[in-house]
Amino acid sequence: MDEMMKMEYYRLSEKESGSSAAAATIVEEEMGIIRKGAWTEEEDAILANYVSVHGEGHWNSVARCAGLKRSGKSCRLRWLNYLRPNLRHGNMSVEEQVLILHLHLRWGNRWSKIAQELPGRTDNEIKNYWRTRVVKQAKQLNCHVNSKQFRDTLRLLWIPRLLERIHPQTLTLTPSSSMSLHQPSNNSHSLSSTNSASASAEFEAAIWTDEIMDSEFEAAIWTDENICFLQQQLTHI
DNA sequence: AACAGTTTCAACCGCTTTATC
DNA sequence: AGATAAAGCGGTTGAAACTGT
């Protein structure tokens, strides 16, 4: 935090002392001062302008100083999920989808951690993708999304198949990375083996190509053909 | 065209973690 | 060391958009 920010922060904290900020928020909410629901363009502009001048952080203060009738939490979320620069909205590319599948096998529902590996994507977006696409497809295949059966099928068959289609060279990496994809794991909650960290890094690097950042086409990995393939594999695994 | 059912995703909620005093 | 506030996180909800009849 730079000095200007610090000064501003302490000034505001002082202002808020006495009755706590949280208590103030509750009172404001009860009085109908705190707005909820969809953000308007005007509110977006106010928030974006304020953050561009003062920087991120101290969201309760942002809400007050910018004149927004919103909670600090709401301001933070709106900024992180919508207004922040360099965000990518819209359809996920094939590479992004495969990476999500891969990282979820490794980390589970650690959405923010997964989001860190997908530049421009938010944890909320990834979480929504998972729930609306992956969980849905698993249900249609009569599987639980976290079952060993479904996870093994993803890890051993489905992801390699998708990779082969998008980047044929990915599967001819070093033995270590291939192992990380093909080696069955006793631990159903982890893709990892001893060398998995470096192998996974190699895997992720292989998925990401220069064109991904420009990729705008609708990337359908959940095609009838692919789902049929999954269905067949699930009955044999 | 109108309605019902389904899907999507932005936003909220509540809990946990981290930072500060 | 404990209290408090802020930030972060994952789960859930509900309105809008979409699709089928």
Look at residue A39 in the predicted model and tell me its pLDDT: 92
**Successive 10-residue mean pLDDT values, chain A, 237 residues:** 34 34 51 80 91 86 86 91 87 85 88 88 90 84 83 83 68 38 36 46 57 44 75 70
Q: Using a 7 Å CB cutoff, list residues 44-73 of A near strand B.
A: 70-71, 73
User: Which pLDDT belongs to residue A88?
Assistant: 85
d(CA A139, CA A24): 44
Strand C neighbors by CB, 7 A? A 13, 16, 20-23, 37-38, 57-61, 72-73, 76, 109-113, 123-124, 127-128, 131
**8 A C-beta contact, residue A167 and residue A159:** no
A73 in Cβ contact with A47 (< 8 Å):
no
Domain boundaries, chain A: 3-83, 94-236
Q: What are phi and psi of A107, to 5 degrees?
A: -115, -10
pLDDT reported for residue A78: 92
How high is the pLDDT of residue A216?
A: 38
Cα dihedral A31→A36→A40→A44 (10° resolution) = 100
What CATH architecture does domain A3-83 belong to?
A: Orthogonal Bundle (1.10)
pLDDT at A135: 86
| Calpha distance A115→A80 (Å, rounded) | 12
